[in-house]
Structure 1
């Protein structure tokens, strides 16, 4: 197995944000026979620490505060932009791991991520502020800082108290994700020509939930912009294995419908509270993805309306022709479910309360008070309408009751 640092790397850790698997599903048997080189110096877990440490200033104006996240290819730092007269602004600063920063193909991917993100301007997409290189020639990408948590952590916070995310909240979050992805899919050049961008890495980790209730899709590091030549070689599959569309294992090109399948996985997992395509090895996961056998969501969540279950399984159809025609159609179907089954659908204030409760459950604090006390009280009223309970009836953990919705009469 070729590990990080080579231009045709195969990522073997599910924590890594990208897998490059040459040959698609036909390479799986070779992967099964390949030894896992534990302790090898090229492994991500043994990569050099590098120069970046808390307190270091990048390009003279970005001060690193603490590591906010780390994957197989890059580290995201919480940093501060330093300006004149004591001006400060929190930002997220992304840096490639030292072992990969010298890989020409990875550098090209990093530059492409900056280029792609710079052309996207939508409230449901994390914005790019700056891109450059430091005195050592190492690149950095500066993005807006989203105070909150990712969707994976929200699901985990519920699991800690043996609960599942309320289906109206899950649907409301995914509707916002679909808006951001639709903006990428309908991108145009300055001349008005269609230039869609396919994300190719739609996962719960890449859905950011702000304490304000905003939902933002991030990490376009694997995005494929159709107005630019391929960065990776033909026959290379990119993305986390458990979130690939089945056609990608057959070396089909990424498309709007492969992103849609990824959204379907995210929604299924948020409702179920468990992984959809998981296994003891990369080979087993790829085999499950290729078969695209999806357990009925209503068998796990009997409270889910049949119309929602139908939408989930339409998005997860193995044959792309049987899925929604595009992400906008999926968004319309999900909004129809909310409208038909609830007196009042969750808004950003209800999502904000979810985020704050989850952060508290995870020991992260409630975050900055970017939602006014009036907004918080409004969110509590929305929650009471959704769950049939008052804010005074919640348990000491701040957990959400499992009464998930109220039908219209």
Structure 2
């Protein structure tokens, strides 16, 4: 399998995109399934909410942040598909080890091993996608990739909740680890490396990746639109991942749902609406940016504006039942959960696509690794831990509803991200084609 010619993307490009999305989806299931494991792991090890925020986030994100840039640098220098195959194999082994942990400390170490294996996955995959599709079709392709784990949240939260309830959290880790193996095998033996920069009219020269990693990073960070866009993405993910990790527990505590029903509703309603919103925003971005590149920034701002209002309504809505779906009582608040899910992800495809336009092909993996590091460190690492600490701190005043009020912090992170995106918009305004070339772009 090889990338198609630069005339038009063909079935080989779409097939490789599918493989990348499947691997990303399974990686995300391995992260998100912790949301329905919080309560059983907490009971088994006698851990606090703060400790569970550590195991569900910072244990993974700290190692990921440490290794993310070297992994992105490697992806800019070696075969990305072979790197992804090795990453998938190691990820499978590390995830299975999580289910074998006999103590809380060993589970922390196993989560750190998962981070080591997963570090190259996202920057290498996004770098490949930029070489599979031309700029005018790239946003939708990226949205297909990034929507995969969002749809996978349905499995992680709904099917995952059933697996945890039926087989226990240990066996569930092993089950989650297995699907990545055939994908890794196909990447290792059936896929050829796409040419870098083929759609940009500029193949990566031999020395494009030869500059030092820190020199490349300094050059990237000197691009102010890139810098503010990365910060906006990171702070958005801080809130979004914290919300996603604690949402099933919120439904259990504040809406009196059993864990299986909470995971089912969070997955089906939140995950489906977010997946559809991701695909729609990518499609919309490709069409509107033909008229003006400013839509790369307008679409995230519009999505954030609606998402922050709907999230506040969801968290503050009183306990009430909208309908009874069989044995599952659906809270009225889930209407707001679906609306928030649809619009909260409108920043992803436009932002990632915009970054691929900002940087040279030989620097994309490092640029995307930097973005992924910050989003992972803040989103996966700090976010769940922070909300857990807030919930513990508010517990004397709000009791079981302490988590409800702690999650309102997510609204603040969304507003902060909007300010950063508006800063990017201000930097690029006045450029003839409204690209960042006039504001310190990366050559």
Give the TM-score normalised by the residue count of structure 2.
0.28
| Richer in strand (by share) | 1
| Richer in helix (by share) | 2
- Where relative contact order (Cα < 8 A, 6+ residues apart) is larger, the structure is 2
Give the TM-score normalised by the residue count of structure 1.
0.29
